[in-house]
Amino acid sequence: MSGTRVVVTGLGATSPVGGDVTSTWSALLSGQSGVDTLKHDWAEELSTQIAGEAAVDPGDVLERVKARRLDRSGQLAMVAALEGWADSGLADGGADPERVAVAMASGIGGFQTLLSNYDSLTQKGPRRVSPLAIPMLMPNGPAASIGLVVGAKAGVHTPVSACASGNESIALGIDLIRLGRADVVVAGGTEAAIHPLPLAAFGQMQALSKRNDEPQRASRPWDKGRDGFVMGEGAAVLVLESEEHARARGARVYAEVAGAGITADSHDIAQPDPSGAGATRAMQIALRESGLSPEDIVHVNAHATSTPQGDVAEAQAIRQALGAAADRVVVTSTKSMTGHLLGAAGALESLATVLALHHRVVPPTINLDDPEDLGLDVATSRRDLPSGAIAALNNSFGFGGHNVAVAFRTV
Amino acid sequence: MPTKTDIQAELAAIVEEIAGVPADDVQLDKAFVTDLDVDSLSMVEIVLAAEEKFGVRIPDDQVKNLKTVGDAVDYIDTAQA
């Protein structure tokens, strides 16, 4: 592949287990669940009454006037982006704005703003619709708002591929840098979908866990007792940078993002291809693009949402993609603790993958009491990774048949 | 009826809430755009909030004439009369 190496120089996150990267990572390592009972009145009639709400309300972190001009998905994105941008060291300068881009994904966008303004329209009339409704509800709103803060003039993008969106942002970030269109890309995903409409709609698809009496045990990827995913909300950002640009300014480098594979199942709008063929190809392409062999991979952060079909199909895909090397790979599901952050999932889990390589430790997968026979080594407690040059994959799949695998390696 | 001073105080609270301008800075001679840095979308929000607060109608074609805080206070005062 192209000679341009792309590295990760900044991280930002706000998640169901922590309001920043440090607290999120520490909670993940200690196996803490961010899922709880929803205490809103609207939850009472829903079949699923649990979710992973953001541990820290973004409205408490951002300046009030700035927060009120953003949909909750934009607020979460902004919190993560400000942290990541500061963490990269670029907040104090060091990047030419015309060489900075943003790729900030969302699965659903600012629909809470859409719905609240529809309420204003029907209850009070067109003059009570907010003039901020459009910039707040448009799916590219978070990306554009971040672009204003970081001064991105090389393009601002919003990949949308359901629950693969966050990973697709990172794949796009790699492309933008390798094509020479940017030196720095603020890449990530955001989602704020804990609201009765998506909970009802995913519930009608029979996609959500109904383990309402045990919220922290409801997200249980690969466990025989799993009964669907648990919705989470949050955002995560990886500041991607060409290695040359990062080295020239002496930036701290967490890991290299080595390559990505994007495929589509062309099988069904909602069900994963049970053969796992599309997911397998995504991982194979990510390896090929990265110049990695299956033997280089020590860790896979799986998509593993805790749905009956998806988890098993993915396990099969991992074995198909890695062959015999799959026996030596430590597999984990971050969602066992955070729930499923939809369009932010790929970004948060890429961040966890980067930190796993950087610190050489994999967080546990919790609630795996009665595992399926997967033929995979799923870490149920914190697991150290070997020394030397190592690499990892992060998988994300989405309704629509989207499969995105991203490969990271140590530097 | 509220006095112009009352209207100014209420309007200042609205401007602070929406645009983040300290209420003390919202003086009669200040222009919304050039002095208080209120952007066009925030101006629409301020107008809508003022309509609700003072029970008046401020038509879109009048908004461009409300350049200063004093203009807005006078308009609201007249509309309420």
Can you give the CATH number for the domain in which A325 is found?
Answer: 3.40.47.10
Closest C-alpha to A368, from A154, A174, A217: A217
**Boundary of a domain, candidates A199, A219, A248:** A248
Is the same domain home to A61 and A187? yes
- In chain A, how many domains are there? 2
Q: How far is A74 from chain B (nearest CA, A)?
A: 18
Q: Last residue of a domain, which of A190, A214, A248? A: A248
pTM of the model: 0.96
Whether chain A has a CB inside 8 Å of the CB on B81: the answer is no
Do A304 and A344 belong together in one domain? yes
The whole-angstrom separation of Cα A376 and Cα A328 is 8
Residue A40 sits in which domain range? 6-248
Architecture of domain B4-80: Orthogonal Bundle (1.10)
Which stretches within A225-276 are classed as H helix?
A: 243-248
Residue A127 touches chain B, beta carbons under 8 Å:
yes
Q: With a cut of 70, say whether residue B57 has pLDDT above it.
A: yes
Average pLDDT for B4-33: 96
Q: Are residues A311 and A205 part of one domain? A: no
Size of interface A-B (CB pairs under 8 A): 17
Q: CB distance from A269 to chain B under 8 Å? A: no
Same domain, A332 and A199: no
Looking at the fold, whether A231 and A291 belong to one and the same domain comes out as no
Catalytic site residue A163? yes
For residue range A351-372, what is the model confidence (pLDDT) as tens digits?
999 999 999 999 999 999 999 9
Task: Verify that A292 and A143 share a domain, yes or no.
Answer: no
Residue located via tokens 């461009």: B64
- Confidence at residue B81, expressed as pLDDT on a 0 to 100 scale: 81
Q: Which of A127, A138, A145, A148 to mutate to test the interface with B (most CBs of B within 10 A)?
A: A127
How big, in percent rounded to 5, are the helix, strand and coil portions of chain A?
A: 40, 20, 35
Q: Is residue A214 part of a domain?
A: yes
What gap in Å lies between CA A288 and CA A258, rounded to an integer? 10
Same domain? A91 vs A28: yes
Together in a domain, A381 and A264? yes
CA distance A118 to chain B (A): 17
Both structure tokens of A266: 């062309």
Name the 3-class secondary structure at B14: helix
Which segments in chain A show pLDDT lower than 50? none
| Site from A62, A63, A65 to mutate, B interface, most B CB atoms within 10 angstroms | A65
The CA distance from A129 to the nearest CA of chain B, in Å, is 9
The per-residue pLDDT for range A60-95, each reduced to its tens digit, is 999 999 999 999 999 999 999 999 999 999 999 999
Burial A303-324, CB ≥16 within 10 A → b, else e: bbbbbeebbbbbbbbbbbbbee
Both A292 and A386 in one domain: the answer is: yes
Chain A residues near residue B19 by CB distance under 8 angstroms? 65
Outline where DSSP puts E strands in A28-80: 36-37, 50-51
Residues A233 and A336 in one domain: no
| A231 in the same domain as A375 | no
Domain borders along chain B are 4-80
Same domain, yes or no: A21 and A146:
yes
**What average pLDDT is seen over chain A?**
97
The answer to whether position A150 is within a domain reads: yes
Question: What is d(CA A94, CA A79) in angstroms, rounded to the nearest whole number?
Answer: 21
